[in-house]
Amino acid sequence: MILQTAFASVLLLLSAGTFASCVTDDHPKGPIEGGVVIETEDADYELVARPDTLRLYIRGHGTRIDLLELDARIALVTGKSKQVVGLHPVFDRLEATGSFQIGARTKAVAIITRPSKPATTVRFTLK
């Protein structure tokens, strides 16, 4: 009887661990493209900023995000300099090319608008 109770307890613990691993948040954590990641309630936003390219990757938490529906702008602030740039869909990301003042501690604010939804504002500090 004691052996059966112990066996049942072990099975219960193993099944609880299996269940917990099934319900955990399965979206990737951290940067995938080498940028800075901000997680919001509905998506992860990863900004890759280079002096000639800005790339914003948006990964929905369990939902597909249609980049063609989005209107996105990003403001870069470095010291007293401010630059506002529109982002356009390119494959799996939103992107802008040009000449950008990017440095350590540059602040970036992305404003993403979707049809019939309030705008999402995401703030980044570049490293």
What pLDDT score was predicted for residue 26?
A: 56
pTM for the full model?
0.75
Q: Is the pLDDT of residue 84 over 70?
A: yes
Residue 99 has pLDDT above 80, yes or no: yes
Quick one: CA dihedral 74, 114, 120, 94, positive or negative? negative
Give residue 62's pLDDT band: very low, low, confident or very high (50, 70, 90): confident
**Predicted local distance difference test score (pLDDT) of residue 75:** 97
Q: Which residues contact 87 (CB under 8 A, 6 or more apart)?
A: 54, 56, 72, 73, 74, 94, 95, 96, 110
> Would the pLDDT of 19 be above 70?
no
26-125: CATH number: 2.60.40
Q: Flag whether pLDDT at 120 surpasses 50.
A: yes
- How far, in Å, CA of 18 to CA of 26, rounded? 14
Domain boundaries, the chain: 26-125
- What whole-number distance in Å separates Cα of residue 102 and Cα of residue 52? 9
